[in-house]
């Protein structure tokens, strides 16, 4: 199979190579998928760059990057229903604790990690579901239904935030979002009742005013370290702060007193570690939103597989209005 590989950390253009490597045959309980698209995420960039604390070299001699993707099952191992051959599927945890991810023409992995894509949903959308889609679903619905609640979505212009706005709206919540000014219109179009400038000096007051001076039920937070104080100010008693990122400040100072006297829950989300039963419930919700036509998974740009380095750099540069994909075909 054709695959992008690396054997050391470094800049994308220095370490990523287009290689020919054997296509692994599916073992018992596994499937082999011919990939149509690979989704590139910030976590893939960090893994390839070696920017995670305490990790000095790749965990395997040869790594194929990227965890998200979509394609068609070509072969199955023992114990997997042969009827799965030909299924259109999307991938989760493609390169999580595994050497070979989705930046390739094929991937072989456990059958449950290749999820049947609902009829009528494009493979491009499927390549966005693994990390952004499931993170947004967990952040919105991690404590159950949200109908009648008010959710604050921090960073509504980002890929996860944009999906979270749509999912919260679909779930019957009132949505307040923060974003940069350039994203205001599209975040409103996605379902946010109010969109506020995340740089406002009076952000907490603005959020409360947008909710009739009442606190919010749940916060979907992309930058917990920077926004911990605002979260504490606007969350209701017994509310939940669902934090899936804190890139700007990875060692935040937490306003424990205000959070304590609201008995607030800080729910730190790492979608890679979601237990299977919970994951399957989130997948079901995600599929229902897609089938209801309530969820659009925008794609900013699609690169050829050989141009994986450029795709990684596009993700690293940010300021996108959609996902970055590789065309694996």
pLDDT digits (tens, 9 = 90+) for 232-243: 999 999 999 999
In which band, very low, low, confident or very high, does the pLDDT at 41 lie, cut at 50, 70 and 90?
A: very high
Tell me the average pLDDT across 47-56. Answer: 88
Task: Report the alpha-carbon distance of residue 44 to residue 316 in Å, rounded.
Answer: 10
Q: How far is CA 215 from CA 143, 173, 192, in A?
A: 18, 14, 17
Q: Which domains does the chain have, with CATH numbers?
A: 2-128+297-327 (3.90.180.10), 132-272 (3.40.50.720)
pLDDT score at 73 = 98
Indicate whether this model's pTM tops 0.85.
Answer: yes
> CA 113, 117, 268 angle in degrees (round to 5)?
55
Given a cut of 90, is residue 34 above it in pLDDT? yes
| Stretch (H or E) spanning 72 | strand 68-76
Strand partners, 324: 40, 301
| pLDDT tens sequence across 195-232 | 999 999 999 999 999 999 999 999 999 999 999 999 99
Burial of 77 (0-12, 13-18, 19+ CB in 10 A): middle
Q: How far is CA 308 from CA 107, 231, 319, in A?
A: 16, 37, 19
| pLDDT tens sequence across 84-130 | 999 999 999 999 999 999 999 999 999 999 999 999 999 999 999 99
| pLDDT tens sequence across 57-77 | 999 999 999 999 999 999 999
Reference 315, options 159, 124, 181, 166; nearest CA is 159
| pLDDT tens sequence across 168-192 | 999 999 999 999 999 999 999 999 9
Tell me the average pLDDT across 271-282. Answer: 97
In which band, very low, low, confident or very high, does the pLDDT at 319 lie, cut at 50, 70 and 90?
A: confident
What strands lie across the sheet with 235-243, from one edge to the other? 194-197, 174-179, 150-153, 216-221, 235-243, 265-268
SS3 (DSSP) at 244:
coil
Residues 294, 316 contacting (CB under 8 angstroms): no
Given a cut of 90, is residue 51 above it in pLDDT? no
Distance of CA 28 to the CA centre of its chain: 29
Task: Report the alpha-carbon distance of residue 88 to residue 222 in Å, rounded.
Answer: 31
Tell me the average pLDDT across 259-272. Answer: 98
């Amino acid at each position: 199979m054709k695959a992008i590989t690396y054997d050391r950390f470094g800049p994308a253009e220095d370490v990523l190579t287009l290689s020919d490597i054997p296509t692994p045959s599916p073992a018992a309980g596994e499937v082999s998928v011919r990939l149509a698209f690979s989704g590139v995420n910030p976590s893939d960039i960090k893994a390839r760059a070696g920017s995670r604390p305490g990790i000095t070299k790749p965990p395997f001699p040869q790594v194929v990057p990227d965890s998200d993707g979509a394609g068609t099952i070509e072969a199955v191992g023992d114990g997997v229903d042969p009827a799965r051959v030909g299924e259109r599927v999307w991938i989760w945890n493609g390169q999580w604790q595994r050497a070979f991810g989705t930046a390739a023409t094929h991937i072989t992995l456990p059958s449950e990690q290749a999820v049947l894509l609902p009829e009528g949903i494009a493979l491009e959308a499927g390549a966005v579901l693994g990390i952004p889609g499931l993170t947004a679903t967990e952040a919105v619905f991690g404590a159950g239904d949200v109908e009648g609640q008010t959710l604050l979505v921090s960073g509504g212009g980002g890929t996860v935030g944009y999906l979270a706005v749509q999912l919260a709206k679909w779930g019957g919540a009132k949505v307040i979002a923060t974003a940069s000014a350039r994203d205001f219109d599209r975040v409103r179009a996605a379902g946010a009742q109010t969109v506020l400038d995340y740089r406002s000096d009076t952000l907490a007051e603005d959020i409360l005013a947008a909710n009739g001076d009442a606190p919010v039920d749940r916060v979907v937070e992309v930058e917990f370290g920077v926004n911990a104080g605002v979260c504490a100010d606007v969350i209701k008693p017994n509310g939940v702060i669902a934090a899936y990122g804190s890139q700007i400040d990875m060692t935040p100072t937490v306003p424990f007193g205000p959070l304590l006297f609201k008995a607030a829950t800080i729910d730190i989300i790492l979608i890679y570690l979601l237990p299977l039963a919970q994951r399957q419930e989130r997948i079901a919700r995600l599929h229902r939103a897609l089938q209801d036509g309530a969820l659009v998974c925008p794609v900013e740009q699609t690169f050829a597989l050989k141009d994986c380095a450029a795709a990684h750099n596009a993700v690293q540069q940010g300021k996108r209005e959609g996902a970055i994909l590789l065309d694996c075909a």
